[in-house]
């Protein structure tokens, strides 16, 4: 793939996400010259998600104390920054291999599993962890106090 094709595919993915912003559950419209099937499109969107997630995790884990919390926070932060991408994947991605790849990566990166364990067990741990990431109550920001200046 040359640079022209790369940019065409990138722009096509952006167009899919722009169109899906109003209703991520609606059928996806996409350029069939670039993506032959919806599965191919979803694989490209999931690849985009995983590239961003693994890059951010690599940086976040450099100074991490608690790996579990760091992975959870990083996943949530990316989902908040890319809500349409995450919603489209949640609504449309059915490729079990892609879903389990993300689950295994999360479990391994958080230190909840290791490579000596069977792949399907790692995916189960990752699925449970991802459910917690998605459903755990988020910590509330501390209340901001303002000090009123006394009039002189």
Q: What is the pLDDT of residue 137?
A: 66
DSSP state at residue 148 = P
Q: Would you state the structure tokens that stand for residue 47, as one six-digit string? A: 């690849």
**Per-residue confidence (pLDDT) for residue 17, from 0 to 100:** 97
- Given pLDDT bands bounded at 50, 70 and 90, which one contains residue 65? confident
- The predicted model gives 72-76 an average pLDDT of 97
> Is residue 116 a contact partner of residue 136, using CB atoms and an 8 Å limit?
no
Higher pLDDT, 31 or 150: 31
Mean pLDDT computed over 20-24? 96
98-151 pLDDT, tens digit per residue, is 999 999 999 999 999 999 999 999 999 999 999 999 997 655 444 433 333 444
pTM confidence score:
0.85
Show the CA angle centred on residue 103, arms to residues 100 and 108, nearest 5°. 125
pLDDT at 150: 42
- Give SS3 for 49: helix
Q: For residue 49, give the nearest of 83, 23, 5 by alpha carbon.
A: 83
Lowest mean pLDDT of 6-10, 31-35, 136-140, name the range: 136-140
d(CA 30, CA 12): 7
- Yes or no: say if 56 and 77 are a contact pair by the CB < 8 Å rule: yes
């Amino acid at each position: 793939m040359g640079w022209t094709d790369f940019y065409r595919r990138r722009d096509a993915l952006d167009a899919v996400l722009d169109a899906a912003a109003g209703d991520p559950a609606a059928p996806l419209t996409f350029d069939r010259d670039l993506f032959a099937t919806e599965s191919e499109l979803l694989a490209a969107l999931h690849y985009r998600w995983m590239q961003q997630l693994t890059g951010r995790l690599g940086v976040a884990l450099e100074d991490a104390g608690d790996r579990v919390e760091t992975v959870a926070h990083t996943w949530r932060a990316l989902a908040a920054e890319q809500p349409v991408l995450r919603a489209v994947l949640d609504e449309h991605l059915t490729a079990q291999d892609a879903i389990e790849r993300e689950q295994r990566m999360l479990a391994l990166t958080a230190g909840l599993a290791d490579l000596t364990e069977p792949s399907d067990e790692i995916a189960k741990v990752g699925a449970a962890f991802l459910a917690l990431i998605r459903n755990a109550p988020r910590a509330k920001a501390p209340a901001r106090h303002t000090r009123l200046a006394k009039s002189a």
